Amino acid sequence: MTSSDTAQTPQTITMFGADWCRDCRRTKAQLDGLGIAYTYVDLEADPAAADVAREISGRTNIPVVVYPDASHHVEPSNADIEAKLRELSLI
């Protein structure tokens, strides 16, 4: 899914990233491989969304992954994402 809509619904995961970012590609591949539905915000296509990601994380690093419980990860490892998805009973 690709969307510039950054609104969170109760079961939405939003990932802010860019195609040139190796960690972003890895995180997308992990979410896709696990069959997790998410909204991808492409910071190259929507540069203003970088400000939103920075407001959420307090940092300029990407990816920023925002979970349905309003928590987030910045540059998460695959293990970080898997643990959070298990905590939320999404996998």
pLDDT digits (tens, 9 = 90+) for 19-71: 999 999 999 999 999 999 999 999 999 999 999 999 999 999 999 999 999 99
Please answer whether residues 84 and 71 qualify as being in contact, where contact means their C-beta atoms are separated by less than 8 angstroms: yes
The answer for residues whose C-beta is within 8 angstroms of residue 8's C-beta and 6 or more apart is 14, 66, 68, 70
pLDDT over 70 at 5, yes or no = no
The Cα–Cα gap between 66 and 56 comes to: 8
What burial class does residue 16 get, using C-beta atoms within 10 Å of its C-beta: 0-12 exposed, 13-18 middle, 19+ buried? buried
Query: What pLDDT band is residue 4 in, cutting at 50, 70 and 90?
Result: very low
What's the pTM?
0.87
pLDDT given at position 10: 58
